[in-house]
Structure 1
Amino acid sequence: MPAFSVDAIQADGTDLECTVSATGGLSRFLSGDPFQVSYDRPIDDVPRSVLVIPVLSQLCPVAWARGGDVRAPVVDQRFARSLAAVRDALGDMHSFIAGGQLRAPRRRTDPPARTDGSGLLFTGGVDSTASYVRHRDEAPTLVSIRGWTITPDAADDHKWDVLRARVESFAEPRDLETAFVESNMLRFLDHPMLLAHYKRHVDGAWYSSVGHGLGLTGLCAPLAYASGIGDLYVAATHWEGIDLAWGSRPDIDGHVRWAGTECHHDGYELTRQERLDLLAAYAVESPHELELQTCNDRLDGNCGRCEKCYRTAIGLRLAGLDPTDHGYRFSDADYRTVRESFERGHWVLGIDERHMWADIRDRARETTPRSRAERAFFAWLDSVDLDELVDSSRPPLSHRVLRAGARTMPTGVYRRLYPLWSEASTIRRRLAQGRN
């Protein structure tokens, strides 16, 4: 039986480290590095039954994909019970989830001293800011995580500093606490090897399509225990009616819990445009400035030129706001730029972006245009076949060959070849972008 084993759990001040071993072929999904997390407050008094939750949250989906177990010396009883529901939800979404068990000889319930606080995973984008507005009466602690979109590499230090400053600038005038978590959760797992095995089954990457709902909430367990956070909110990306394989959904996040804390997938009943409506109402009544950060290309403000920036700016206009007041340079002339970017193939949508533009189109049908340029753009959007703008192409042949080989070649060989292939692939992509 393939299995992961958590062999050691060590907390030192604000740092957590766990060592893991594997049997039955699961070792190829581990990088060889210990699992590490740094919090911004001491976790020495957090029981081991809770300290083990972050590493289990990363390991379990990988083990389940191979029909394997995860072994730990101790675990929180509530968390252990919640895993079965999370596993079943992932299995309903992904056919490759084969099942498996968490095996821990000691299952404990160690209630924290208090549970009267709340927390919110926060980036400053539309979704997490809308969740703040929904729960602002609770004054939630804003929790930001480094390790997924911002890597733990020194090259990303500036990005992390920028994000921290932005979150703090949002929190300070609203008298909110912040919490910052840094982890190597994706470096601890061999993410390229996971992609080699499962990319053909998922629309995105492993963590986005499978792991991040359980992974990010579980990462917060020691923080929540030490801080008295009884409710932890995860802002929804999608909404009812969008059936996509995505690792964070109500039937995943809503089942995760541990001693003193329950997790909530928040705002799933609202479309993205309805979340922007919520922000518009808040912007009118709030004495504080509201700047959003959604850009795919930069973190220190919005570039105002990528697909996501334009999509957000148009959504803000439809909600009755001036995008320039909330972090986006936008004028009537940009409507032509957006249309031409689609028609010339500069942007190719994923399935989720297709749903978001459909949401904009639905609202535009109910909205009186404010200018000739807006009227022309909305008429075009109403007539265009959004499905034709969705990228349905397969990965390049070189990607498919490498991944197929990785499923059978020795792990050491693959780890030597992958960086060379990845570097060459990056160079080819940049050359292609230069030609365009």
Structure 2
Amino acid sequence: MSGQRTEPAPETPPPDPAVRIGRIAAEGTTLECSVTPSASLRRFFTGEPFRAEYDVPIESVPDAILAIPVLAQVCPVAWAAGADVYVATVDRTFATALGEVEATLASLYPFIEGGDLYARAFAEPTLEVGRGSTDTGLLFTGGVDSTCSYVRHREEEPTLISIRGWTVTTDSSDDETWDRLRSRVSAFADERGLETAFVESNALSMLDHPMLLAHFKRYVDGGWYSSVGHGLGLLGLCAPLAAARELSELYVAATHWEGVDLEWGSRPDIDDRVRWTGTRSHHDAYELTRQERIDRIADYVRTEAPELPLQTCNVRIEDNCGRCEKCYRTAVGLRLSGLDPTDHGYPREALDYDAIQRGLENGDWILGEDERYMWADIRDRVHETDPQSPAERAFFEWLLEADLDGLVDESGSPLSHRALRAGARNTPTGVYTRIYPVWDAAKGVYRRFA
């Protein structure tokens, strides 16, 4: 953050605006602590204590490392409000990393005011785990980006880490989805002799995302977590796991690439700076466009994994629907890299070129600037590809002439959602608290924008 300061009077309530992290309890595989915002920040928090569940005991992990997951979620909100954060102890290396990440976010977003981090101790823990280890971890979903990172680093035999709490929520309604994701990732790992790690956290539900969007949506292309918080947040969640499993390196796959000028919460100048005692993080494959990542996957398919599955669907996580924009886009990308999408988890209709063109022309999907870049990347490859059917030829010809800028929804969400955000932004906290149940009922609308 802007500065590291020793807390002079820990029993004294911090001044407003501020957030205090309570005692961090680690019992077995469970991490929990309270988060207490001052009055002006309460609207950005739901009142839930922070929780994270790991699949390995974390009781022996030092408190300074255990503080990292909650700080990684809370600090960006505090920076946006110009608030200080108070915690009993924190790893000194991570505290330094927070200052560097805050500086990056401040360079991207005008609303990032920064703040100080107060602790009774900035610790430099001695770790038996993590010291001298060459083991690596990879945040993994089975999509194009994380699969490409696996292909690039497969000789390191990385532990595949999957996190529940963002695209798969901790709501009981998502239990079956999470079970299917675990099964799919475990099957991928078993076939390759890899270890897996699964983390569950309420990192998002402890934050009030509708209110964060109400205040800051006008500054970001997408949602709060995707635009601001997820690089630091997801990597920070891995800190106790990395210490317990002796992971010295963590890879997170790039979404964008060099030349894509977008504000995004996971970037080289964020992820490469996230570190703590024993572990460093790396933003991987940023030098490759998405189509070039598919090329890397295609090389691996042809030499080692002819039926490699991919899962990229925006609608469901257990398989690919073949009808959403991301399924269509990935299927076209696979075809341009010389692969048959049906061999890799996509139904045949995912290459229905007439449906793709109609959907793009009719605005059937809310597309942001990142999708525009990805379709432009595909268009660049179309120049080098001979069509294999009249339908493909017609689509390629249309795409080469299409106004991709016109496909982008500048608002990022329907008018009704923007009206709700404007209302919440101008609602006093006391009134907002009384109407919260009504607002909470609309939260499902925002899940895709988180």
Aligned partner of 1:54 in structure 2 is: 69
SS at match of 1:360: helix
Q: CA deviation at 1:26?
A: 1.7
Q: Shift of residue 190 of structure 1?
A: 1.7
Is 1:413 matched with 2:428? no
1:170 CA displacement: 0.4
Unaligned runs of 5+ in 2: 1-15, 446-450
The corresponding residue for 1:137 is 155
| TM superposition shift of 1:212 | 0.6
Do the aligned partners of 2:138 and 2:150 also contact (CA within 8 Å) in 1? yes
1:261 to 279, 294, 319: 279
Q: 2:118 aligns with which of 103, 107, 123?
A: 103
Counterparts in 2 of 1:368 and 1:231: CA distance versus 1, 3 Å: same
User: What CA distance in whole angstroms lies between the structure 1 residues aligned with 2:439 and 2:60?
Assistant: 45
Which whole-Å deviations, capped at 9, do the CAs of 1:11-50 have from their partners, x for residues lacking one?
0000000112122512222211110000000001000000
Displacement of 1:138: 0.5
Q: In structure 2, how many angstroms separate the alpha carbons of the residues matched to 1:109 and 1:25?
A: 33
Match of 2:395 in 1: 377
In structure 1, the partner of 2:94 is 79
Residues 32 and 333 (structure 1), Cα distance of their counterparts in 2 relative to 1, 3 Å cut: closer
State the distance in 2 between where 1:33 and 1:423 align: 17
Question: In 1, distance between residues paired with 2:403 and 2:281?
Answer: 38
1:122 counterpart = 2:140: yes
The separation in 2 between residues aligned to 1:349 and 1:407, in whole angstroms, is 24
Moved over 6 A (4+): 424-427
**2:82 match:** 67
**Secondary structure of the equivalent of 2:210?**
helix
After superposing the two structures, state which structure 1 stretch, 200-209 or 251-260, moved more: 200-209
Q: Is the 8 A contact 1:250 1:268 kept in 2?
A: yes
Query: What amino acid sits opposite 1:283 in the alignment?
Result: V
Rounded to whole Å, the distance in 2 between the matches of 1:253 and 1:333 is 35
**Hey, what does 2:448 align to over in structure 1?**
none
CA shift for structure 1 position 343? 2.4
The answer to whether residue 224 in structure 2 is matched with residue 206 in structure 1 is yes
Question: How far is 1:281 from its partner?
Answer: 0.2
Q: What residue is the counterpart of 1:308 in the other structure?
A: 326
Match of 1:196 in 2: 214
Alpha-carbon distance in 1 for matches of 2:29, 2:444? 37
Task: State the shift of 1:121 in Å.
Answer: 0.5
Which SS does the other structure have where 2:22 is aligned? strand
Point out where structure 1 has 5 or more consecutive residues left out of the alignment: 428-436
326-335 vs 262-271, which moves further? 326-335
RMSD of equivalent CA atoms: 1.8
Q: 1:207-260, CA deviations, whole angstroms, 9 ceiling, x for partnerless residues?
A: 111111110000000000000100000100011111111111000011000010
Secondary structure in 2 matching 1:162 = helix
Who is 1:215 aligned against? 233
Change (3 A) 1:86 1:381: same
Q: Measured at CA, do residues 333 and 24 of structure 1 come closer, stay the same or move farther in structure 2, by a change above 3 Å? A: closer
Relative to 1, partners in 2 of residues 1:295 and 1:396: Cα closer, same or farther, differing over 3 Å? Answer: closer
Q: Deviations over 1:326-363 (max 9, x none)?
A: 01123697112211222233234211111101000000
Task: Give the residue type in structure 1 aligned to 2:95.
Answer: A
Normalising to structure 1: TM-score of the pair? 0.94
Aligned residues with identical type, % of pairs: 62
Separation in 1 of the partners of 2:310 and 2:268? 24
* 8 Å Cα contact 2:30-2:53 kept in structure 1: yes
Residues 336 and 381, structure 2, Cα contact 8 Å, conserved in 1: yes
**Aligned residue in 2 for 1:160:** 178
Name whichever of 374-383 and 346-355 sits farther off. Answer: 346-355
Partner of 2:9: none
Match of 1:341?
359
Q: 1:120–1:332: structure 2 CA closer, same or farther, 3 Å change rule? A: closer
Secondary structure (helix, strand or coil) at the match of 1:8 reads: coil
**Which stretch of structure 1 is more off in the superposition, 389-398 or 225-234?**
389-398
- Alpha-carbon shift at residue 372 of structure 1 (Å): 2.3
Q: Distance in 1 between matches of 2:314 and 2:125?
A: 41
CA offsets, 1:282-307, max 9 Å, x none?
A: 00111563100000111121011111
1:4 and 2:19 correspond: yes
Q: Does the aligned pair in 2 maintain the 1:332–1:374 contact within 8 Å? A: no
**Residue of structure 1 in register with 2:297 after alignment:** 279
Q: Tell me whether 412-421 or 9-18 shows the greater mean CA deviation.
A: 412-421
State the match for 2:11 in structure 1. none
Cross-structure match for 1:26: 41
Provide the secondary structure at the position in 2 that maps to 1:72: strand
Deviation at 1:426, TM superposition (A): 7.3
- 1:94 Cα deviation from its structure 2 partner: 0.6
Q: Which residue, 364, 376, 379 being the options, matches 1:361?
A: 379
Deviates further, 68-77 or 346-355: 346-355
